[in-house]
Amino acid sequence: MGAEGIRERGTSVPDGRTIESVNVVCMKWGSAYGPRDVNTLRAMVGRHLALPHRFVCFTDDGAGLDPSIEVQPMPRIEVPVERQISPWRKIGLFTPGLGGLTGRTLFLDLDVVIVGAIDPLVTWTDKVGIAENWTQPGAGVGNSSVFTYDIDKYAFVLDTYNATRGTLFDTYPNSQTFMSRTLGPENIDFFPPDWVVSFKHSCMPGGLRSWFETPRLPAGARVVAFHGNPKPQHAIEGRYPGKWYKHVRRTPWVAEHWR
């Protein structure tokens, strides 16, 4: 089945399965993000995902989360102390039987902004669907801000992590490179490039233009990833934290969608 057929049917993946429902999962640990971020993500998913879905937050603190959010403990994974707040904890999403979930699953970081229908992300592929990392075009590396997968299918990613944990941090610069290399190209289908875009690389004007031009929302975008800085709140307020020589103008469309 071609890509257009998948988009038109909307509820089937290329292996012929009809998707009756989908798991939507996120993770919150430490103090970098709070309940507002999870609740906002939940609200955006509710507006932009037509498929019946179960929304699960894996977290070490479920206080303040909306009652419609299913709270589950963080996956058990050994992470070095110096990497406790790093995205390496996402590798725990490949734990067999995680949360009692099965089937097609959409993972979303807490700092993404959903701006369009996300059903096609779920049905695009029966493999791991992910955006090609914007800073590594052609390298076969996905950006793990947004990805879809069968949650009960890729336990070998966690097995490889556990088996090589003593050396992998010297081999791989980050968790998404490890994840992509371990899955291999045979298990990955990159989303069409206009579906999941980077705020920094796809929306913000470059160089001095960022002081005079408001970031644009690319046509066809479904999700905007705010990896690193600035975050959605910074774009709304018009400030770029930490670096005096960088700037982002107030961006009204972020406020319109991030709620």
**Which residue type, as a one-letter code, is found at position 241?**
P
Single out the residue in 133, 166, 190 at which a domain terminates. 190
Residue 243, pLDDT above cutoff 90: no
Residue 67, pLDDT above cutoff 70: yes
Q: How far apart are the first and last CA of the chain?
A: 36
SS3 per-residue string spanning the chain: CCHHHHHHHCCECCCCCECCCEEEEEEECCCCCCHHHHHHHHHHHHHHCCCCEEEEEEECCCCCCCCCCEEEECCCCCCCHHHCCCHHHHHHHHCCCHHHCCCEEEEECCCEEECCCCHHHHHCCCCEEEEECCCCCCCCCEEEEEEEEECCCCHHHHHHHHHHCCCHHHHCCCHHHHHHHHHCHHHEEECCCCCEEEHHHHHCCCHHHHHCCCCCCCCCCCEEECCCCCCHHHHHHCCCCCCCCCCCCCCHHHHHHCC
Residues in the chain: 259
**Domain tally, the chain:** 2
The residue among 1, 33, 26, 34 whose CA lies nearest residue 16 is 1
Same domain, 202 and 142: no
Residue 137: CATH number of its domain:
3.90.550.10
Give the residue numbers spanning the domain of 142: 3-190
Same domain, 235 and 166: no
Same domain, 116 and 36: yes
What are the structure tokens assigned to 62, written together?
């479920």
Single out the residue in 168, 190, 212 at which a domain terminates. 190
Inter-residue contact 146 to 130 (CB < 8 Å):
yes
Mean pLDDT of the 1-20 span? 62
Return d(Cα 255, Cα 246) in angstroms, integer.
Answer: 21
Same domain, 178 and 233: no
Same domain, 37 and 112: yes
Same domain, 48 and 32: yes
ω into residue 218 within 30 of 0, thus cis?
A: no
- For 64, 65, 85, 89, the CA distances from 188, given in Å and listed in that order, are 36, 32, 26, 20
Same domain, 200 and 179: no
pLDDT interval class at 33 (50, 70, 90):
very high
pLDDT tens column, 191-235:
999 999 999 999 999 999 999 999 999 999 999 999 999 999 999
What are the structure tokens assigned to 66, written together?
């909306």
pLDDT tens column, 87-127:
999 999 999 999 999 999 999 999 999 999 999 999 999 99
